[in-house]
Chains A and B, each alone.
Chain A
């Protein structure tokens, strides 16, 4: 290659590299300065320090370093090779292709070489000129933006920040006043909250860093006080009696749920403590209770609860965890566990003997007639005194005669949901009398009479639970409004426990069918509607004894368990009830007894489909491709005028 050609190409190339580098630096520095401006702006409004903590010359040096580095990289990537440079130079010098020819190493004739050399002397005039104005416009604008943001008056950005802080503190102030209206919150707490809000109000003007964090902390504290106050208000009547507490807890389950019922928790913990004192609650059982607690309670909370139960059965609330939600879930779980560990429901579960609906309806009618007699005798103030002793004897006699029947009837009507049909007086009298008899009934006998069908058991238990819940709600409200006697709490409790017994049987049946440890109740409606469907140690007798025909819970050490896996299966007559082999004699075959619902199956020949016969051809009627060839005929440019003329004449004729 000629030396002048090489020299010209290199000079052109160097100029191009410089231009490329400057352009790359311009683009990179522009991007960097825009980012810096954005960060600075963010700092102003978010009250943070990312770049402002750095010296200003450091920021600018960083921008310059980023620009130079990116410029170098971009320049390397977008570099022009010699061939391209030669083409651009050829375009500018207009050597009629001689430069391109010479740059490829072709030996030029002397005259052409002299021509080319002469043209190359004008290389300086055709070297690419950098348009500095165009290159520096964007970086300069970005630099101005950074400077403006950097020296932006603090009042502009401070104002919006202060406004947000003021709104947040004002909201806190309102919430503190709401807390102050709650009676259960001590005045000292309210004063302390007010002082904290006042302090925040004073600091809003200065817009201290970290003020948002303190606002959030105070917000959490106010929320906690509100929840604690709500818990105290909900459990304020807990000390008046157990029945009242139960009513409230039942109402809670039907109405709005309190996040934390301190009274309920205290009652449950106290009950656990008493059981522990009576020796019913050993360490293993307590561990089982803790394991049955909801998973939302962490181990530390469980440990705190275990420590909160004192030796004398009392509870030290201060030792409990402070998380209201955890405590709420814990209280429910403990109450549920305590009720089941009480072991008082097994006897009442025997009432759920299997009876037909006809029997239940007949008995309901009979009891309705009795109720009318009761009501007539009790409500007739004009009745002669002489007749009163006879009526009392008759009543006592009636009660004595039907006491055992009443017990069965109560269970049957609860099963069928027929208790609602009874008058109030009869309902109470029947259940009181029936319950007194139920205590002496043979539990095993009643339970063996229950149907083995799991679905029937489930329906029976749900109906019974619904009846008990209905009694507690309707009777309580109606009796309270009428000013009459309160509904028997024993009735409600016993019916609930009867439902529990049924549910336990359901659990056992389910466990036998699924091969799982007994006591896993199917999630459903719990007696009284107080307990959510969950895990219960169903079938677990007090003291950890297993009832017959059950599998051990699998967690109780030393009782029919082998580690944490499946427990040993103890087969009894009950367990074999649904699995035993039974010989069933099948009916003989008789052609006349064949089912009439069968569908005759025949095989028919398909009917031929006769369509319109035609002989399609190109351009003929019925041809599928008619017109296609004409349409696809390519119209050559020279034919265009002819086609247009043809259609123009045709249109004239049509007109």
Chain B
């Protein structure tokens, strides 16, 4: 018989996650939902793409997570002249014991937490250099494959308004991000709090929230969260409903050109586990799926050109699908209430 997390284990998980969340909340004020989504992505061992206007604290958030988790952090500022070898590293000629030989020198990608700042400013060639690292957790240079350190996260940011000289990420790379989170703006109260509590906007100094080994413990707890068959079926129906061939509603049929991949369903499942643990549950519930579905699905939908011009967004489509796709596949008769 399968056993699930005990109350103590769930509480332990909540405690660990709560520490990271509280620390991040000290750095980034008024962005609790964003922080939780980032935490969920981190627990699900997925990569995160933050999209927002400049000055919203995206970079600070990533740096705060690196500090709180104690992970090795590297920052990559993507520019159009950035080469793949600049991020993956490459062979250099070394002389040892009177012999010259090519020796691989790891690039900034070899870190636990990589901040790919303004990732859409680099060329597609450089962007694609991230593909193997994000999916396989390894880098291949000159036919030699080098494993990336564990855990490995890529937290990328991109600016949606400065589009000149940028290279939009291809769908294959977007699909490798577990979440794409749009960083919302701040309200006046939050900005007032920032002004009064921080000089020159500098965040407060924070310490480690997770001791060495606790992150691995957190990962094990997330993996132990139970995903019932009914919920897995709901996730599958939700992802299948994004395809125009089998649309969940008429809006999807008209606006979506390509639906989400099975990788999206896997991402939702893993993220829902982390969300359940964050909520203090030993198992996934329908609410956990609804909580992570928008962030996991929206960037994976390829919309029709007409839909884009008419203002339809993938986020609104997913939100509508969450209402249209029933949690139970077989509804009760109308004569029953």
Contact = CB atoms under 8 A, between A and B. Distances in A.
Interface of A: 16, 19-20, 22-23, 26, 78, 80, 83-84, 86-88, 90-91, 96-98, 100-101, 104-112, 128-131, 134-135, 634-642
B108 to A, nearest CB: 26
Contacts, number: 118
B4 A128 contact: no
Chain B: interface secondary structure? loop
A129 B332 CA distance: 11
B226 A101 contact: yes
Contacts of B328: 84, 87-88, 91
B77 to A, nearest CB: 20
A78, A83, A101 interface centre (most CB from chain B within 10 Å): A101
A637 B308 contact: yes
A16 B229 CA distance: 22
Nearest to A20: B333
Nearest to B280: A96
B305 A101 contact: no
A97 B7 contact: no
5 contacts: A87-B327, A100-B283, A107-B1, A128-B332, A635-B308
Contacts of B311: 640
B283 A98 contact: yes
A128 B330 CA distance: 15
B119 interface: no
B332 A16 contact: yes
A640 B337 CA distance: 46
B335 interface: yes
Contact of A106 (B4, B6, B230): B4
B248 interface: no
A100 B227 CA distance: 9
Contacts of B327: 87, 91
B45 interface: no
A96 B7 contact: no
A44 B161 CA distance: 79
Given A109-B5, A109-B6, A112-B7, A97 B285 contact: yes
A16 B228 contact: no
B336 A130 contact: yes
Q: Closest 5 interchain pairs by CB? A: A100-B228, A97-B285, A638-B160, A128-B336, A87-B328
Interface string B212-238: 000000000000001011110000000
B186 to A, nearest CB: 20
Interface of B: 1-7, 51, 160-161, 163-164, 168, 226, 228-231, 276, 281-287, 302-303, 305, 308-309, 311, 313-314, 327-330, 332-337
Given A83-B229, A96-B285, A98-B283, 20 more contacts: A19-B333, A26-B335, A78-B333, A97-B226, A97-B281, A97-B286, A101-B282, A101-B283, A107-B1, A110-B7, A112-B282, A128-B332, A128-B337, A129-B336, A134-B334, A135-B335, A637-B313, A638-B160, A640-B309, A641-B161
A640 B308 contact: yes
B284 A97 contact: yes
A128 B311 CA distance: 42
B224 to A, nearest CB: 11
A23 B333 contact: yes
B41 to A, nearest CB: 21
Given A106-B2, A129-B337, A640-B308, A100 B282 contact: no
A23 B285 contact: no
Contacts of A87: 230, 327-329
A100 B230 CA distance: 7
A106 B283 CA distance: 10
A80 to B, nearest CB: 7
A134 B230 contact: no
A638 B168 CA distance: 9
A100 B6 contact: no
B168, B276, B282 interface centre (most CB from chain A within 10 Å): B282
Given A20-B333, A84-B328, A106 B7 contact: no
Contacts of A100: 228-231, 283
A78 B336 CA distance: 14
Contacts of B314: 637
B4 A19 contact: no
Contacts of A640: 308-309, 311
A110 B51 CA distance: 43
A19, A26, A87, A642 interface centre (most CB from chain B within 10 Å): A87
Contacts of B1: 105-107
Contacts of B333: 19-20, 23, 78
Contact of B230 (A26, A83, A107, A109): A83
Contacts of A108: 4, 282
B195 to A, nearest CB: 29
A107 B309 contact: no
B281 A636 contact: no
Contacts of B282: 101, 108-109, 112
Contacts of A131: 334-337
Contacts of B335: 19, 22-23, 26, 130-131, 134-135
A80 B330 contact: yes
A97 B283 contact: yes
Contact of B163 (A88, A105, A642): A642
A17 to B, nearest CB: 11
A634 to B, nearest CB: 7
Contacts of A83: 229-230
A101 B332 contact: no
Given A87-B328, A91-B327, A129-B337, A107 B281 contact: no
A100 B6 CA distance: 17
A86 B231 CA distance: 12
A468 to B, nearest CB: 81
Contacts of B286: 91, 97
Given A16-B336, A84-B330, A97 B231 contact: yes
A86 B2 contact: no
Given A88-B328, A112-B282, A635 B309 contact: yes
Contacts of A635: 305, 308-309
A88 B328 CA distance: 7
A109 B3 CA distance: 8
Nearest to B120: A638
A131 to B, nearest CB: 5
A641 B161 CA distance: 8
A16 B230 CA distance: 19
Nearest to A92: B332
Nearest to A98: B283
Contacts of B284: 97
Contacts of B5: 109
Contacts of A78: 333
A101 B4 contact: yes
Nearest to A635: B308
Contacts of B329: 84, 87
Contacts of A22: 335
Contacts of A638: 51, 160-161, 163, 168
B143 to A, nearest CB: 34
B161 A111 contact: no
A637 B168 CA distance: 11
A145 to B, nearest CB: 21
A162 to B, nearest CB: 46
Given A80-B330, A131-B337, A90 B4 contact: no
Contacts of B287: 96
Contacts of A130: 335-336
Contact of A101 (B51, B228, B308): B228
A543 to B, nearest CB: 87
Given A97-B284, A638-B161, A106 B336 contact: no
A46 to B, nearest CB: 37
B281 to A, nearest CB: 6
A8 to B, nearest CB: 15
Contacts of A112: 4, 7, 282
Nearest to A112: B282
Given A101-B4, A109-B4, A109-B7, A90 B281 contact: no
